[in-house]
Amino acid sequence: MKKFAYLFAVIGIACMFTACSNDDDPAMPGASIPAKTYTAADGLTLKLDGTEAAGQIVSFTPSNDGKATLSIKGAPLDISSIIGGMMGGSKADQTPNLTLPTSSVIPGSAEVTIPVELTGDASSCSFAGSTETTYCTFAYEGKVSEGALDLNLSDIKLKNTSIAGTYDLMSDAPLRIVWEGDDFQFEAYGQKV
pLDDT value at position 21? 47
User: Do both 86 and 121 map to the same domain?
Assistant: yes
On whether residue 149 sits in a domain, the answer given is yes
Query: b/e per residue, 158-190, with b = 16+ CB within 10 A?
Result: eeeeeeeeebeeeeeeeeeeeeeeeeeeeeeeb
Give a yes or no: residue 30 inside a domain: yes
Residue 1 resides in a domain: no
β-strand partners of 140: 129, 153
Burial of 103 (0-12, 13-18, 19+ CB in 10 A): middle
What distance in Å separates the CA atoms of residue 70 and residue 150, rounded to the nearest whole number?
Answer: 12
Does some domain include residue 2? no
* One domain for residues 191 and 121: no
One domain for residues 106 and 176 = no
**11 within a domain of the structure (yes/no):** no
Q: Are residues 112 and 32 in the same domain?
A: yes
What are the φ/ψ torsions at residue 17 (nearest 5 degrees)?
-80, -20
Q: What pLDDT sits at residue 188?
A: 61
R_g of the chain computed on alpha carbons: 27
Starting at the edge strand found earlier in the chain, the sheet holding 51-52 runs 51-52, 44-48, 149-158, 136-145, 124-132, 119-120
Taking the chain, what is the end-to-end CA distance rounded to the nearest angstrom? 100
**pLDDT the model gives residue 183:** 66
- What pLDDT was estimated at residue 152? 97
Whether residues 134 and 73 fall in one domain:
yes
Q: What is the domain range of residue 168?
A: 164-193
Q: Which residues of the chain have pLDDT under 50?
A: 19, 21-22, 94
Specify the pLDDT at position 64. 83
Task: Give the model's pLDDT for residue 151.
Answer: 97
pLDDT of 160 reads 86
Structural domain count, the chain = 2
Q: Does residue 191 share a domain with residue 157?
A: no
- Distance CA(176)–CA(193), nearest Å, equals 14
CA 131 to CA 159: how far, in whole Å? 12
- Helix H segments across the chain? 2-17, 80-87
